[in-house]
Amino acid sequence: MKLLKLTYLLIALVFFSCKNEPYEEIPTQAAGEYQNVPLSFEVPSNFPPLQYDIENNPPTETGFELGRRLFYEGRMASDNIVACGFCHIQEFAFTHHTHIVSHGVDGALGSRNAQPLQNLAFQNEFNWDGAAIHLDMQPIIPITNEVEMNESFTSIIAKLQAHPDYPRLFREAFENGEINSENILKALSQFMVMMVSSNSKYDKFRRNEGNVTLTANELQGMELFNQKCASCHAGELFTDQTYRNNGLAIDPQYNDIGRERVTGFPEDRYKFKVPNLRNVEVTFPYMHDGRFANLEAVLEHYRSGIQDTENVDESLRQTDGTLGIPMTDEEKARIIDFLKTLTDTDFIFDQRFSEF
Amino acid sequence: MKKIVYLFSLSLSILVLSCNSDADVIETSTVEITFDNRISANQNLTLGTTVYVNQNNESVVTNELKYIISNIQLTQDNGTIFEYPKADSYFVINEADLSSLTLNLDGIPVGNYTHISFGIGVDQSEYPLDGMLNFIPTAEEAQMIWNWAAGYIFIKFEGTFTPQGGTESPFVIHVGSHGQNLDNYKFVTLPLANTMNVNAGTTASVMVEAYIERIIDATNQIKLEDTNNIQVDPVNAPRIATNLESMFSAQ
């Protein structure tokens, strides 16, 4: 018996002795060892193609789980409290809505409204102004920004190394097992890439699933939305991913210049990313600074509130030169009926994404 | 027991035989690259002290000078290019930190080298590959990363300038890439003034001189009185990035 064991050991030795490393441990699947169990990621049939280069960071069970832990981990912030999940709350499609603009460590006030986190793997740029061009890099901003988590990677790495669970979780999730900035960011991305919202009533209707139909009001709202809104809130993601000025009055408190901050081009002043509208029923307050409390106010803005500020989108100007999208009260109500079909309760109550 | 010993020696011999890859291992050695930041070929730089006059007749004092070097490559006289492992090839050169000015590169194949190449900044078109995410802590400590945008600052050049007959004012130049449409990463190849012989057992060295007057006076001239704050600047940041291509010379 002993002999047999020894033989196996020797055979294994021969196998592993030809790697470049001086030696290599014989892998076991015990806790604390790298586990490569891939999670399946399917592009919903009514969605555009993926933008995230998933081959470079394929989500695995252990990578996703580590990402989930990190997302809800207060130690990622300087006060050990303000986790990603503090501002991105699942029931609100990962937005924050007790505050208009986000609150960070020590109650520091940001100047922008937290965006929903959903279908990020289909997006090419991130934040209201596109300040991140890759999902893996986006968390650098909230982590290091003094009004958000105000932390440094060096300090996070030290805190995670000293933690009873994280060294094991990193070994299970990554082949090199290291607690480093790349693995932290990759684990967060694996978690966020899996956050796909594609099971709203609207999606089921589009995919002809289980005889789901829209009511007459909702159908009429969809028709109106396609005429009046879909030029910007385009396609199945409800955004063409461009930056535009939809005519919000400039708030002198922040004077947020939007996209210009990233590009420096004056023609980008006051332009913001066209937001996706999935789960919009629960992502209030609305706009980059959370100025509108409800959808009625948003629709009224498009009808009567559009201001002629620098770079306002020309498509919002009617042929007679006045700004606004003409709508009757009735039409406004129908569009809101339609927007509510984008709510995906499967997503906002999906256990996989919740803290506990 | 005998059986075990037999089995052991058998396997040992297999072990030895199966590992003949040693035969074609290339001999390697160490190269030391030292950055000498100067005003010009014949003027030294001391932070906070040295005054030089730029082409717009402005007297310039440098208080801070840092830049990122990446993707180092060395070219042999036979044309072979050795690429230093990308993941280990990101460095902050900080004039205020002596230890940052010398880079020690291990595992350089022996041979005669005639050129050195490197990137100035980080090649964002490769995000997030090549270990560039593991450069974050270093960049963070050197404050060479933004916290409102996800990206590295390629060069920081700060100080004061005094136009002729004018008063002294500060200037700030921070250049990096922004978004997808402003890529200020540059890659330069410099001939070595003397061939560098890399031999086993000794450390070869290269001296790279950086002439900082060229940051604002090279292909493009920048008058600090007109623009003393170049950060997210779609016009001037690319002009500076172009100037950086002619800032270095290798000895």
Q: What is the predicted ipTM? A: 0.85
pLDDT in tens, A179-209: 999 999 999 999 999 999 999 999 999 999 9
Domain span holding position B135: 26-250
Residue B14 pLDDT greater than 60, yes or no: no
Contacting residues for A201 by C-beta, under 8 A, at least 6 apart: A212, A214, A341, A342, A343
Look at residue B107 and tell me if it is in a domain.
Answer: yes
Indicate the residue of A10, A157, A262 with minimum beta-carbon distance to B7.
A10
**Bridging pattern class, strands A272-273 and B203-211:** unpaired
- Of all residues in chain B, what percent carry a pLDDT higher than 70? 90
To the nearest whole Å, the CA of A235 is away from the closest chain B CA by 23
Which of A31-40, B176-185, B240-249 is predicted least confidently? B176-185
Residue A13 pLDDT greater than 90, yes or no: no
Look at residue B18 and tell me if it is in a domain.
Answer: no
Indicate the residue of B4, B14, B178 with minimum beta-carbon distance to A263.
B178
Residue A340 pLDDT greater than 90, yes or no: yes
Averaged confidence pLDDT in chain A: 91
pLDDT in tens, B77-111: 999 999 999 999 999 999 999 999 999 999 999 99
- Chain A residues with CB-CB distance to B133 below 8 A: 136-137, 181-182, 185-186
The pLDDT, as a whole number, for residue A105 is: 78
Alpha carbon separation from A135 to A51, A59, A187, A265 (Å, rounded)? 10, 14, 11, 24
pLDDT in tens, B198-215: 999 999 999 999 999 999
* Residue B181 touches partner A, C-beta closer than 8 Å: yes
- Chain B residues with CB-CB distance to A182 below 8 A: 128, 131, 133-134
pTM: 0.90
* Residue A17 touches partner B, C-beta closer than 8 Å: yes
Are A154 and B18 inside 8 Å of each other by CB? no
The helix or strand, by DSSP H or E, that contains position A157, with its residue range, turns out to be helix A153-161
* Residue A263 touches partner B, C-beta closer than 8 Å: yes
d(CA B131, CA B67): 18
Strand partners, B209: B36, B249
The pLDDT, as a whole number, for residue A254 is: 87
pLDDT in tens, A278-331: 999 999 999 999 999 999 999 999 999 999 999 999 999 999 999 999 999 999
- Please name which of B107, B72, B108, B111 lies closest in space to residue B90, comparing C-alpha atoms: B72
The pLDDT, as a whole number, for residue B125 is: 79
pLDDT in tens, B214-227: 999 999 999 999 99
* Residue B5 touches partner A, C-beta closer than 8 Å: no
Residue type, B166: G
Which of A87-101, A116-130, A142-156 is predicted least confidently? A87-101
- Chain B residues with CB-CB distance to A152 below 8 A: 137, 140-141
Cis peptide before A44 (omega within 30 of 0): no
Look at residue B11 and tell me if it is in a domain.
Answer: no
CA atoms within 13 A on the CB side of A198: 20
Task: Taking residues A169-183, report their average pLDDT.
Answer: 97
Give the ranges where A286-353 is alpha helix by DSSP (H): 295-300, 329-339, 345-348
The pLDDT, as a whole number, for residue A17 is: 42
User: B151 vs B188, which has greater pLDDT?
Assistant: B188
* pLDDT bucket at A274, cuts 50 / 70 / 90: very high
The pLDDT, as a whole number, for residue A21 is: 43
Are B140 and A263 inside 8 Å of each other by CB? no
- Domain total in chain B: 1
Return residue ranges of chain A for CATH 1.10.760.10.
4-19+42-196, 201-345
CB atoms under 10 Å from CB of A30, counted, come to 8
- Chain B residues with CB-CB distance to A263 below 8 A: 178-179, 181-182, 232, 234
Are B150 and A13 inside 8 Å of each other by CB? no
Contacting residues for B103 by C-beta, under 8 A, at least 6 apart: B32, B33, B34, B35, B69, B72, B91
* pLDDT bucket at A102, cuts 50 / 70 / 90: low
* pLDDT bucket at A19, cuts 50 / 70 / 90: very low
CATH number of A201-345: 1.10.760.10
To the nearest whole Å, the CA of A200 is away from the closest chain B CA by 32
d(CA A107, CA A223): 43
List the end-to-end C-alpha distance of chain B, in Å, as a whole number: 65
pLDDT in tens, A237-270: 999 999 999 999 999 888 999 999 999 999 999 9
Look at residue B31 and tell me if it is in a domain.
Answer: yes
Residue A7 pLDDT greater than 70, yes or no: no
To the nearest whole Å, the CA of A239 is away from the closest chain B CA by 18
- Of all residues in chain B, what percent carry a pLDDT higher than 90? 80
Question: Which option is the CATH number for A4-19+42-196: 1.10.760.10, 2.60.120.10, 1.10.8.60, 3.30.70.141?
Answer: 1.10.760.10
